[in-house]
């Protein structure tokens, strides 16, 4: 029992440290329900660090992980008609392995990218991720925790040494096994739902739920 308490305290301490680092402009690696992610607050200088660490092309967008659906209204600028359709999917799959691309609220995206007109958003299931996101302000800009071009990872021991030496804090996963497959990504275009990437949630299943 003493050992279990020690592990819990250590995890809590690591999460608190990560939140402090993120609020001070740092970059954290943490588990999501799919793969390990790398994230920062939605601020230009902080997000630049993610791109630099990953060696990622600046033209490739990263997504926002949020802790609560209520936050969505401040980040997007969708039509009422689209939101009625999209809400069916969100109610079914959030929290979970589905990223939805929305028309962005430019007041939000200009904090980190002046040219960003759409934004991908997801609420993960992983309890550690949700706690870190919520206590950091409810929004983290994220990408998979790997050097660009390499595979995303679901085990902490598979994280790139090069990436690890450049991030500020790493939180290991103790809640549940990560799926190892990045999220499904969809967007509404001209009134139709379009698949951009298929993960564990199958596109045909999503279309069935919309009927």
Whether pLDDT at 6 is above 60:
no
Three-state DSSP class for residue 75: coil
pLDDT score, position 4: 34
Q: What is the pLDDT of residue 79?
A: 87
Number of C-alpha atoms within 13 angstroms, CB side, residue 138?
Answer: 8
Percent of the chain with pLDDT over 70: 94
Residue 87, C-beta contacts closer than 8 angstroms, at least 6 positions apart: none
Compare 42 and 3 and report the one with higher pLDDT.
Answer: 42
Q: Which residues make Cβ contacts (< 8 Å) with residue 23, sequence separation at least 6?
A: 41, 136, 137
Decide: 40 and 47 in contact? Cβ < 8 Å: yes
Output the domain CATH number for residue 51: 3.90.870.10
- Percent of the chain whose pLDDT exceeds 90: 77
pTM of the model: 0.91
pLDDT band at 9 (very low <50, low <70, confident <90, very high): very low
Q: Are strands 63-66 and 98-103 parallel, antiparallel or unpaired?
A: unpaired
| pLDDT surpasses 70 at 65 | yes
Distances (CA, A) of 142 to 10, 32, 96, 203, 204: 24, 10, 15, 23, 27
Average pLDDT over residues 14-19: 91
pLDDT of residue 74: 95
Nearest to 184 by CA among 172, 200, 170: 200
Query: Within a 13 Å sphere around the CA of 69, how many CA atoms are in the beta-carbon half?
Result: 13
Phi-psi label, residue 168: left if phi above 0, alpha if psi -120 to 50, beta otherwise: alpha
Indicate the DSSP class of residue 36: E
Does 27 have pLDDT greater than 50?
yes
What is the C-alpha to C-alpha distance for residues 41 and 137, in angstroms, rounded to an integer? 8
Mean pLDDT score, 88-114: 95
Helix (H, G, I), strand (E, B) or coil at 128: helix
Which range marks the domain in which residue 145 is found? 2-210
Average pLDDT estimate for 55-66: 92
Mean pLDDT of the residues in the chain: 90
Total structural domains within the chain: 1
Position 175 confidence tier, pLDDT thresholds 50, 70, 90: low
The confidence score (pLDDT) of residue 2 equals 36
Which contiguous run of DSSP H or E holds residue 21? helix 2-23
pLDDT of residue 10: 67
Token pair recorded at residue 195: 């698949």
- What does each C-alpha distance from 46 to 24, 37, 50 come to in angstroms? 9, 15, 7
pLDDT tens-digit profile of 35-51? 999 999 999 999 999 99
């Amino acid at each position: 029992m003493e050992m279990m308490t020690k592990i819990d305290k250590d995890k809590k301490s690591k999460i608190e440290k990560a939140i402090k680092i993120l609020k001070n402009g740092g970059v954290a690696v943490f588990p999501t329900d799919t793969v390990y992610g790398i994230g920062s607050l939605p601020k230009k200088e902080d997000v630049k660090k993610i791109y630099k660490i990953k060696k990622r092309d600046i033209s490739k967008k990263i997504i926002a992980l949020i802790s609560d659906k209520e936050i969505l209204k401040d980040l997007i600028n969708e039509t009422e008609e689209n939101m009625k359709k999209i809400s069916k999917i969100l109610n079914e799959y959030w929290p979970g392995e589905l990223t939805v691309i929305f028309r962005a609220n430019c007041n939000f995206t200009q904090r980190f990218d002046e040219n960003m007109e759409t934004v991908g958003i997801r609420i993960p299931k992983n309890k550690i991720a949700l706690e870190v996101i919520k206590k950091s302000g409810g929004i983290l800009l994220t990408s998979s925790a790997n050097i660009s071009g390499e595979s995303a990872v679901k085990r902490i021991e598979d994280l790139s040494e090069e990436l690890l030496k450049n991030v500020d804090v790493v939180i290991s996963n103790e809640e549940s096994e990560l799926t190892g497959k990045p999220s499904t990504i969809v967007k509404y275009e001209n009134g139709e739902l379009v698949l951009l990437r298929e993960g564990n949630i199958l596109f045909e299943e999503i279309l069935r739920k919309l009927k």
